[in-house]
Structure 1
Amino acid sequence: MSGPNTSYDPVQVTPLDADHVEAAVAEALAAFAAATSLAELKAARLAHAGDKSPIALANREIGSLPPQARKDAGRRIGQARGQINAALKAREAEIAEVELANRLIDERVDVTLPVDLGPEGAIHPITALMDQMIDVFVAMGWEVAEGPEMEAEWLNFDALNFIPDHPARTMQDTLFVGEPDSGVVLRTHTSPVQARALLDRELPVYVVCPGKVYRADEYDATHLPVFHQIEGLVVDKGITLGDLRGTLDHFARAMFGDTRTRMRPNYFPFTEPSAEVDLQCFVCHGSSVGNPDQPCRTCRSEGWIEWGGCGVVNPRVLEACGVDSSVYSGFAFGMGVDRTLMFRNDAEDMRDMIEGDVRYSRSLQGLAR
């Protein structure tokens, strides 16, 4: 760069010449117009509007002019740079619009074309049946109660009137967490949820308690060490065994259609009186009993199928949970969800339920009533 003039002698600085500036602008506009992509336009911008472009170099030469000539040259260079930047911005918008349109065409997806879908999953039949069971009681105004699977031994046994040396407490049936005297077990039934409901809720209580339970059972076609139960508990004033019978009949019809229940006396620590619940065979409806010409595989021609246990809540259980047994009474029942699924869908092996084969889940969904 030449040094500044201190006298007003015209100095010819080529980059600031009007013709030279016009030529630089024309060159820049032509380069921008010739660019067909943003990458090409970027190269043209660096060449004609960057720090080393003719216009940038001319701008630096303004300082070499006498003070009286700088204003003219500055205005000329300023106008040229504004013209170049405006043309660059306009061309950039044009190219971006064209590239977007081309990209939309190239990446277009025809949603009407057939596609190969991945295999569909299926709700596990145990989950589906448990939800269906819960719906029966929710429709009657009951609440759903849940509790932890790792439970305090007091809630699992003592609160439910299991004596200290009851066989169910032994390692043969119960899975203890830690040492046997730890006081913590994997719950052997969902009944602890009933005790929790009585301790935590205001009376009256109408709850259904679904969940997973654990026992040291054999692993075979009809037994699993981890299985599912659903239990019901009602505690209110004036509750009788007749209320229990009506509830079970309604539940059985919801699950199996045109069937009914019967009760056989039994013993459970947490109910008194207690009973086993049998279903009238929903296949033969008892017609196979004593009829060798029409045997029934479902009930083995006995006419009834064992379903679960039930009874009137033992006053000791009510008192253990802080309920006045002279004012309140109640009933409770419990059924195996896995066994109910076997009954409803003619499933022969409970082990198939835990294999995780989606084909099995689909097959039982197809058979669901």
Structure 2
Amino acid sequence: MVDKIKNYIAEVEKFTASTQEEVENFRIKFLGQKGILKEFFAEFKNVPNESKKEFGQTINELKTAAQDKVNELREALESKLEENGVYGDLTRPGEPVEIGSRHPISIVKNQIIEIFSNIGFNVSEGPEMEDDWHNFTALNLPEYHPARDMQDTFFIQTDPEEILLRTHTSSVQVRYMEDNQPPIRTISPGRVFRNEAISARSHCIFHQVEGLYIDKGVSFADLKQTLLYFTKQLFGKSKIRLRPSYFPFTEPSAEVDIYWGLETETDYRITKGTGWLEIMGCGMVDPNVLKNCNIDPNEYSGFAFGMGIERIAMLLYQISDIRMFYENDVRFLNQFKSVL
């Protein structure tokens, strides 16, 4: 009988388990109410007196070995489960990390910034919530000026002063001129807001990059050469034209067109069969704007220009609907993974 118990002890020592269910079955087999140990304890009364001591010690050895084995296996399995809960299944193959992508608006904005940085322009930024002075009055748009109607404005408060969402990043240029003296050479990229109907060609939120150069002896020829350099760098187009236009804060003012060409059906469609495409507005800074910013217009002159980033991106990537930039459609954004 003692030899039989010792065989069970050897079996206990060799036992291993990979699940909690196997451990529980092992426990029931040896330590349960109808288990092996219960049977041996029941046989104890039938053992001769001279063998009772050895028999009892061997049973207790089996009981201790079985209980220790159960505890050991339970701790090991629980530790493994906890590790999997924190780190997942460490034996599982790794999942590929998908390459992210920049938004096309960010891509084009960074390209524009880099082009102008190469010719000495720095980057200036300002608040999206503006006051009337920086957004309108300082830019030669006094109260009740009819040109204010050109920009449908989101007003946030009107008392005690008018606070609004900026309608252009020209307000950043005003702030920059207030804090810096010429020579000034800066571009102001940022988000702007206008209370316009949303369609395939327009949105109430869009992005602009506006440039400003002020120094002694700045002429319209300097403006034209700067814009020609820009269009060559960004579009690879070397032919531009400037058409007379009107902006309250520049005089004279012009719209800038590039010759896109008529090589494909798309070219005919986006240029309406003319081959020319409008990309931005520009002009010489009005002397009143310089005065409002404490810059002497008799000593300094300058030029300014501004373009919509969405319009440029739509041209570069042949995107037909401006709303696609704001819908966060992964299918659309994944197309720009290979673009830095």
TM over 0.5: yes
Determine the C-alpha separation between the residues in 2 that align with 1:301 and 1:260. Answer: 17
Task: Note if 1:115 corresponds to 2:94.
Answer: yes
Determine the C-alpha separation between the residues in 2 that align with 1:349 and 1:193. Answer: 28
Task: Note if 1:338 corresponds to 2:310.
Answer: yes
Determine the C-alpha separation between the residues in 2 that align with 1:320 and 1:277. Answer: 27
- The amino acid that maps onto 2:94 is V
Aligned 8 A contact 1:122 1:362 in 2: yes
Q: CA deviation at 1:271?
A: 0.4
What's the CA shift string for 1:16-45, capped at 9, x where partnerless? xxxxxxxxxxxxxxxxxxxxxxxxxxxxxx
Q: CA deviation at 1:294?
A: 10
Q: Which runs of 5+ in 2 are unaligned?
A: 1-75
Distance of aligned partners of 1:117 and 1:295 in 2 relative to their CA distance in 1, 3 Å threshold: closer
Partner of 1:124: 103
Q: CA deviation at 1:160?
A: 0.5
Structure 2 counterpart SS, 1:230: strand
Q: Which runs of 5+ in 1 are unaligned?
A: 1-98
Where in structure 1 do 4 or more consecutive aligned residues deviate above 6 Å? 106-113
Aligned 8 A contact 2:237 2:258 in 1: no
Structure 1 counterpart SS, 2:102: coil
Determine the C-alpha separation between the residues in 2 that align with 1:112 and 1:221. Answer: 50
Could you say which structure has the greater relative contact order, defined with CA pairs below 8 angstroms and 6 or more residues apart? Answer: 2
Tell me which moved more, 330-339 or 354-363.
354-363
Determine the C-alpha separation between the residues in 1 that align with 2:233 and 2:266. Answer: 27
What's the CA shift string for 1:241-267, capped at 9, x where partnerless? 011001111111121113322100011
What's the CA shift string for 1:153-200, capped at 9, x where partnerless? 111011000132234545970111123773211000000111111111
Aligned 8 A contact 1:168 1:174 in 2: no
- The amino acid that maps onto 1:317 is V
Partner of 2:230: 251
TM-score (norm. length: structure 2): 0.69
Distance of aligned partners of 1:114 and 1:260 in 2 relative to their CA distance in 1, 3 Å threshold: farther
Determine the C-alpha separation between the residues in 2 that align with 1:353 and 1:305. Answer: 21
Partner of 1:149: 128
Determine the C-alpha separation between the residues in 1 that align with 2:101 and 2:191. Answer: 20
Question: Among 276, 280, 293, which residue is 1:308 paired with?
Answer: 280
Aligned 8 A contact 1:189 1:229 in 2: yes
Determine the C-alpha separation between the residues in 1 that align with 2:150 and 2:187. Answer: 28
Residues 1-369 of structure 1 mapped to structure 2, 5 A cutoff: 114-117=93-96, 119-167=98-146, 169=148, 173-179=152-158, 182-281=161-260, 283-284=261-262, 296-364=268-336
Determine the C-alpha separation between the residues in 1 that align with 2:119 and 2:295. Answer: 24
Determine the C-alpha separation between the residues in 2 that align with 1:363 and 1:356. Answer: 12
Aligned 8 A contact 1:136 1:254 in 2: yes
Determine the C-alpha separation between the residues in 1 that align with 2:93 and 2:119. Answer: 46
Aligned 8 A contact 1:261 1:279 in 2: yes
Determine the C-alpha separation between the residues in 2 that align with 1:336 and 1:273. Answer: 21
Determine the C-alpha separation between the residues in 1 that align with 2:93 and 2:314. Answer: 39
Percentage identity across paired residues of the two chains: 43
Determine the C-alpha separation between the residues in 2 that align with 1:354 and 1:223. Answer: 12
Determine the C-alpha separation between the residues in 1 that align with 2:285 and 2:169. Answer: 15
Q: CA deviation at 1:128?
A: 1.5
Structure 1 counterpart SS, 2:238: coil
Determine the C-alpha separation between the residues in 1 that align with 2:137 and 2:161. Answer: 15
Root-mean-square deviation over aligned CA pairs: 2.9
Determine the C-alpha separation between the residues in 1 that align with 2:337 and 2:248. Answer: 37
Q: CA deviation at 1:274?
A: 0.3
TM-score (norm. length: structure 1): 0.64
Determine the C-alpha separation between the residues in 2 that align with 1:319 and 1:344. Answer: 38
- The amino acid that maps onto 2:249 is F
